[in-house]
Structure 1
Amino acid sequence: MESGWKNHSREKKEKDLFHVIYKVPSGDGPYVRAKHAQLVQKDPEAAIVWFWKAINAGDRVDSALKDMAVVMKQLDRAEEAIEAINSFRGLCPKTAQESLDNKCGKVDEQIVLLKHKLKLIYLGEAFNGKPTKTARSHGKKFQVSIKQETSRILGNLAWAYMQKSNFVAAEVVYRKAQMIDPDANKALNLCHCLIKQARYNDARFVLQDVLQHKLPGSDDFKSRNRAEELSLEMDLQPINSPLLSNLPGLNFEDDFVEALERVMNEWAPARSRRLPIFEEISQFRDQLAC
């Protein structure tokens, strides 16, 4: 009996010491467990699983996101960290947004990273040459194909361009991502890009696929709400409106255009070796060179 009491006392002291040293709140929730796995057990994979559980449970979401990003970057999973922050930062208070940006990295750095990922696919070096890889999201494992990965990277790249208010470039990349693996989220972002360019007819056309449930994810509650908000925003605009003249234009490097074109041609229709969008990119590039 005395031995059991001593063990309990020792465990309590260890827990108290852990909270003092690492400044982690006491308790037994998923966030505390994640910090214990990260700092005491030195098990980053287990820590990430617990951080996801904390985010899903609403347990110190901003701290869980920031700490998980640190662990992911240590495991060379920086892009996954960026995607997690961009996906769940809406659950965090305004006071946490700046620190989340710091963990996420500057937008220009994100763009460089995403372009590098795309070039690895272009060179056949992604997934160690295998057609699929095992990925993890919300603590769950699943298989991802090269095709799905390419669309995901393009979607994230387009989102990064949106953060820089380069809606022309974002539109081009979103359209490419949709050609590979369409979904409602990318369609809604594309619609937003078109609205920002005052191209309301084009935006309405894109939005119809979501409103008519033609795309995966159209039935999601958040997608439906956002589609209704975008539709309402367009209803307040004129049917036809001139393009905004002060929008930034495309600024794609030659090697990135080449990589994007090579990857896209793998899924292009047989009738077209060079997709029209790349002609558009080349035209913008030639104009910038003049």
Structure 2
Amino acid sequence: MFNESASCSSDNPVGNKALPNLPAGNTPYAKAKHAQMVDKDPEKAIALFRAAIDVGDKVDSSLKDMAIVMKQQNMSEEAIEAIKSLRNRCSDEAQESLDNVLLELYKGCGRMDEHIMLLNHKLNLINQGLLFHGKRAKTAKSQGKKITISIEQETLRLLGNLGWAYLQQSNYMAAEAVYRKALSIESDNNKICNLGICLMHQGKVAEAKMMLQNVKPASANDPQGLDSHLKSYERAQHMLKELEENPI
């Protein structure tokens, strides 16, 4: 995250040494970041990001940052349309990042058909060896730290999201297929629990029960968040109990 400061120089409004991560200068993009991070003026920031795009100033970053600010202002639908209409001005290297922003926007707006379509598109890029520009890993930022994401990790993340999306649509057969594919790559308690839910929805209670017996209960007090299957485990166990008490 960017550092914040309440003061700035009148000659160079974004050149304050206390804000080393803000771009220097008086370009539209630099002013937009200042409006976003220092002035805390999202409307002004959005207008300046759009101005930066119009004049070709850091278009990749401007469009992504503008969409993120729009999302924060409950303007997700507008952010979606902005990305769709303006992404052709961005570089090839920026398209993957814009897709990731779109996925979050689609999810937040409940536009699950488009969410699923984009997830499948990204998985197809992996199958074609085109994601990460053909490399086996990429460097990304998470909570301000640089991390390395392998193509296998990205595949599992996308499959998990796709399975969840099919669950939201009550498309249990499709969700089951996706979770089985993910689990063939790597065992994961959260995906096992969700697969069990898919199976129970399809009347395969005995298979689901056998599968869930191998999953240890999750802990809500895990300080490192390792038990990420807490909610899915509770849902699966609750559903199993209900089905056993009230068989169809």
Q: Which residue of 2 aligns with 1:81?
A: 101
Measured after TM superposition, the shift of residue 183 of structure 1 is: 3.7
Match of 2:122 among 117, 122, 126: 117
Distance 1:178 1:135, change over 3 A: farther
RMSD: 4.1
The alpha-carbon distance between structure 1 residues 226 and 30, as it changes in their structure 2 partners (threshold 3 A), is farther
CA–CA distance in 2 between the matches of 1:201 and 1:155? 23
Corresponding residue for residue 129 of structure 1: 134
Question: Which of 19, 24, 29 lines up with 2:40 in the alignment?
Answer: 29
1:251 counterpart residue number: none
Mark the CA change 1:228 to 1:122 in structure 2 (over 3 Å): closer, same or farther. Answer: closer
In the alignment, the residues of structure 1 paired with residue 181 and residue 65 of structure 2 have an alpha-carbon distance, to the nearest angstrom, of 32
Instruction: Give the 5 Å matches for 1:221-236.
Output: 223-236=229-242
Q: In the alignment, what sits opposite 1:211? A: 217
Alignment of 1:7-22 (within 5 A): none
Q: In 2, distance between residues paired with 1:46 and 1:160? A: 29
Pair 66,29 (structure 1): closer, same or farther in 2 beyond 3 Å: farther
Say whether the 8 Å CA contact 2:103–2:115 is kept in structure 1: no
Q: Which has the higher contact order (CA 8 A, sep 6+)?
A: 1
Determine the C-alpha separation between the residues in 2 that align with 1:30 and 1:153: 34
Cα 1:240–1:133 change in 2 (3 A) is farther
Structure with the largest fraction of helix: 1
Distance of 2:99 and 2:212 partners within structure 1: 28
Deviations 1:45-79 (A, max 9, x none): 26645865897xxx54x33x445545555253454
Instruction: State the partner residue of 1:166.
Output: 171
Q: Which of 35, 38, 45 in structure 1 is aligned with 2:61?
A: 45
TM-score by length of 1: 0.51
Q: Aligned residue pairs: how many?
A: 195
Match of 1:190 in 2: 195
Would you say the 8 A contact 2:141–2:147 is kept in 1? yes
Deviations 1:139-194 (A, max 9, x none): 76532211112222222332343344321121121121123244444334323312
Distance 1:80 1:187, change over 3 A: farther
Give the match's secondary structure for 1:151.
helix
CA distance in 2, matches of 1:134, 1:178: 25
Query: Could you tell me whether the CA contact under 8 Å between 2:50 and 2:66 is conserved in 1?
Result: no
Q: What is the DSSP-based 3-state SS (H/G/I as helix, E as strand, rest coil) of the residue aligned with 2:243?
A: coil
Q: Which runs of 5+ in 1 are unaligned?
A: 1-6, 8-26, 90-99, 243-290
Structure 2: tracts of 5 or more residues without a match = 1-9, 11-37, 88-93
Q: How many angstroms apart in 2 are the aligned matches of 1:207 and 1:70? A: 46
Q: Which amino acid aligns with 1:81?
A: V
Instruction: Report if the CA contact (8 A) 2:49-2:65 is conserved.
Output: no
Partner of residue 237, structure 1: 243
Distance in 2 between the 1:209 and 1:198 partners?
20
Cα contact 1:34–1:50 (8 A) shared by 2:
yes
Tell me if structure 1 keeps the 8 A contact 2:218–2:233: no
So what's the TM-score if we normalise by structure 2? 0.57
1:82-127 C-alpha deviation (Å, 9 max, x unpaired): 432466x3xxxxxxxxxx24xx4x61x4444433333332232332
